[in-house]
Chain A
Amino acid sequence: MKELIRSLVETTGPSGYEMQVTELVKQLIKGTADEIKVDALGNLIARKGTLKKGGKRIMLSAHMDEIGLIATHVDENGFIRFTSNGGVFPVYLLGSRVRFLNGIEGVIGSESDSRDQAPAMNKCYIDVGAKDRESCPVKVGDMAIFVRPFVDLGARLVSKALDDRVGVAVLVETMKQLKDTPHELYCVFSVQEEVGCRGAMTAAYAVDAELGIALDVTRTGDTPKCTKMEVALGKGPAIKVRDSGMLSDPKVVRWMQETAEKEGIPYQLEILDAGSTDARMMQVSRAGMPAGVISIPCRYVHSPSEMVDYQDVLDSVKLLKALLSNPIDF
């Protein structure tokens, strides 16, 4: 799966501008779905399987978009001011490199020479090497992403946009491996998650499912002196119990736990203080549906160098495949 993940994270897709990822995913899932369409906001929705006894209409969601920046002003000397597109932490800005959708690359600098503290976003600028406003190849409103190559550390993988291309990879791989399912699956590769799960909201309305599962990353508590959290890299997929946007349906949590235990797949339970996923929108769409999340543990979330454990990724596929292979009795 490493090449699959590499191809996904190396593709550009800031929130609202996910088209390149959409095209790639279309290629990747070719032949694995019964019907594929792209909806009004850009969600890629692939239907797989038809309802059989004990089956449900299930919406699965992994978001294609990644966090990025938007140009807000080009000054007279050609420096670009910017704001965030999704949750960008100022601490990761200085020294970062970015690429605009037109291919232009730049570096981030800040007004102050002090390097003791992270500057606020409005004190930073992007330098694309332009001499003045007129010759600057970027204009107000242009979107950029962070640039950082994919690194294979063997057991662990590092890249920008693992949030949530690794979730996309898990869903793609599951679609490929899943040969038989009693369910009608709606595999949604969603847009605009990083700005408030907007794509999942409208996709959930359209799909009108009976059960929702999101595939996304979650932070960990296994790095030096970090905020405590009972999730670590390498201990298996995390089954979400709650985050700041939702409480997973207890039936779904139990179903995921029991399936993992039966299949001998390691897992951890996730309780996340801040952050949420597409599942929160599925849960309250229309008349509501039970929803849960399989989270891939990830260090340095929303930095240009996110890290996941490769075995966790493989086990996430295994768990999702097992969940979808059998009838559901709740």
Chain B
Amino acid sequence: MTTKNMAPLIEKEQIDLLERLSNACGILSDVGEIRKIVLESIKPYCDDVHVDALGNVLAIRKAQQPDALRVMVAAHMDEVGFMVIEKEEGGLFRMLAVGGIDSRYLPGKPVLAGKDHIPGVIGAKPIHLMKKDEMKNTMELEDLRLDVGPDGGDKVKPGDPVYFATKFQQVGPSLMGKALDDRLGVASLISLIQHTPANIELLAAFTVQEEIGLRGARVAAYAFNPDLAIVMDSTPSYDLPTWDGSENIYYNTKLDAGPAIYVADTGTLSDPRLLQHLFKVASENNIPYQIRQPGKGGTDAGSIHRQRAGIPSVSISVPGRYAHSPVMISRFNDWKNTLTLVHTALAEMPKNILQRN
């Protein structure tokens, strides 16, 4: 790699930033904690920053040369969590899932409720009292309660958000924490703003409401109306052995195999010109990558590419195990290579990339 295109490094400062972002809490458009970190990190570097009507942070960093490509890069600030919907007696509350959550993950998990992060637990019957038949059944969210104790009961009310209480940690090659989907993308996008390649106009969108239907990205793309878009997200990795020892053919992505590039998912067919550029940049710069198995799932690209007269788009994710659970495990190296790939792809993006033969 040449120095002129040197990608931003991930050092202690960036890890600390990821830790703060992962520990911060925010669902839907209620992402004030994350937005505050984003704004303080990017403001000195941007030519324009504003928070739009839905709560997206839209930041512009102009190019150092005329007639530059206007490239939107998006990462979502919201995480999956819950909303309190009904108060019962003794500090117990019923909850609703916000975003896709597997209720089998939930019993016994520590959580935080409301703006003041009132500590609580998602309660369930202990094994001592469980009958054999009951243990075979999945406990649905409607059978579970948020328990914040009698003292906490007065401090929580319907409509309050509830978050997993996991604290971020770096363990050897791994990053473990809640909401790495998509705080990894948020941290990467902050780095890109701080080290924007001179040849492109960066239109950075830190979006809201991704987990409930890619809603923030929709209005962000309409507002920016960019030439093209790159979405930085997190994607599940199910790269575990199969129980019968046969070859695992449905892993989605694999840890340590590099950034996951999307060809097709439920919402988007990635633009072939952008794909070819990414493959070329990765191989010329010896950046490892993998193709996310085409199939279900989606990113903000699903909204972005359909706006206005169409916006060529592609997504690149950091793979992570146990997505949408209280803790995800990703690899430092996959994150580093993702940031390097996107930065290098931007720095080496030919101005005529969208030209058709």
**Which A residues fall within an 8 A CB radius of B?**
15-17, 19, 38-43, 70-73, 75-76, 81, 83, 85, 122, 139-141, 192, 195, 198-199, 201-203, 205-206
Q: Are A202 and B308 neighbours in the complex by a CB distance under 8 Å?
A: yes
Please give the distance in Å from A59's CB to the nearest CB on chain B. 13
B291 interface contact, C-beta 8 A: yes
Q: Are B356 and A38 neighbours in the complex by a CB distance under 8 Å?
A: yes
- How far is it, in angstroms, between the C-alpha of A75 and the C-alpha of B249 when the chains are bound? 7
Interface hub of A41, A85, A140, A206 (most chain B Cβ within 10 A): A41
Considering only CB atoms, which chain B residue lies closest to A69 in the complex? B294
**Known contacts being A16-B264, A16-B269, A85-B264, is A72 close to B308, with CB within 8 Å?**
no
Please give the distance in Å from B268's CB to the nearest CB on chain A. 9
Q: Are A39 and B309 neighbours in the complex by a CB distance under 8 Å?
A: yes
Q: Are A75 and B247 neighbours in the complex by a CB distance under 8 Å?
A: yes
Q: Are A139 and B247 neighbours in the complex by a CB distance under 8 Å?
A: no
Q: Are A141 and B249 neighbours in the complex by a CB distance under 8 Å?
A: no
Q: Are A201 and B294 neighbours in the complex by a CB distance under 8 Å?
A: no
Interface hub of B264, B275, B308 (most chain A Cβ within 10 A): B264
Interface string of B293-310 (1 = CB under 8 A from A): 111000000000111111
Contacts of B306 in A (CB 8 A): 198, 201-202
A-B contact count (CB 8 A): 75
**Known contacts being A140-B294, A141-B291, A198-B306, is A41 close to B272, with CB within 8 Å?**
no
Please give the distance in Å from A98's CB to the nearest CB on chain B. 15
Please give the distance in Å from B324's CB to the nearest CB on chain A. 21
Contacts of B295 in A (CB 8 A): 72, 83
**Known contacts being A40-B354, A141-B291, is A70 close to B264, with CB within 8 Å?**
yes
Contacts of B309 in A (CB 8 A): 39-40, 202-203, 205-206
Please give the distance in Å from A150's CB to the nearest CB on chain B. 26
Interface hub of A39, A72, A73, A195 (most chain B Cβ within 10 A): A72
- How far is it, in angstroms, between the C-alpha of A29 and the C-alpha of B250 when the chains are bound? 44
- How far is it, in angstroms, between the C-alpha of A40 and the C-alpha of B272 when the chains are bound? 12
Chain B contributes a number of interface residues (CB within 8 A of A) equal to 24
Interface hub of B270, B293, B307, B310 (most chain A Cβ within 10 A): B310
- How far is it, in angstroms, between the C-alpha of A17 and the C-alpha of B294 when the chains are bound? 15
12 residue pairs from A and B, CB less than 8 Å apart = A15-B269, A40-B309, A40-B354, A41-B310, A70-B263, A71-B294, A75-B247, A83-B264, A122-B250, A140-B293, A202-B307, A203-B310
B197 interface contact, C-beta 8 A: no
Considering only CB atoms, which chain B residue lies closest to A85 in the complex? B264
Considering only CB atoms, which chain A residue lies closest to B311 in the complex? A40
Contacts of A195 in B (CB 8 A): 269
Q: Are A70 and B291 neighbours in the complex by a CB distance under 8 Å?
A: no
Interface string of B306-319 (1 = CB under 8 A from A): 11111110000000
**Known contacts being A72-B293, A72-B295, A141-B291, is A17 close to B272, with CB within 8 Å?**
yes
- How far is it, in angstroms, between the C-alpha of A330 and the C-alpha of B210 when the chains are bound? 42
- 4 shortest interchain CB distances as A-B pairs: A16-B269, A202-B310, A141-B263, A206-B309
Among B249, B275, B311, B354, which residue has its beta carbon within 8 angstroms of that of A73?
A: B249
Among B249, B272, B291, B307, which residue has its beta carbon within 8 angstroms of that of A81?
A: B249
Among A40, A43, A73, A141, which residue has its beta carbon within 8 angstroms of that of B264?
A: A141
Q: Are B356 and A198 neighbours in the complex by a CB distance under 8 Å?
A: no
Q: Are B294 and A39 neighbours in the complex by a CB distance under 8 Å?
A: no
Q: Within B191-234, which residues are at the interface with A (CB < 8 Å)?
A: none
- How far is it, in angstroms, between the C-alpha of A205 and the C-alpha of B305 when the chains are bound? 13
- How far is it, in angstroms, between the C-alpha of A85 and the C-alpha of B247 when the chains are bound? 24
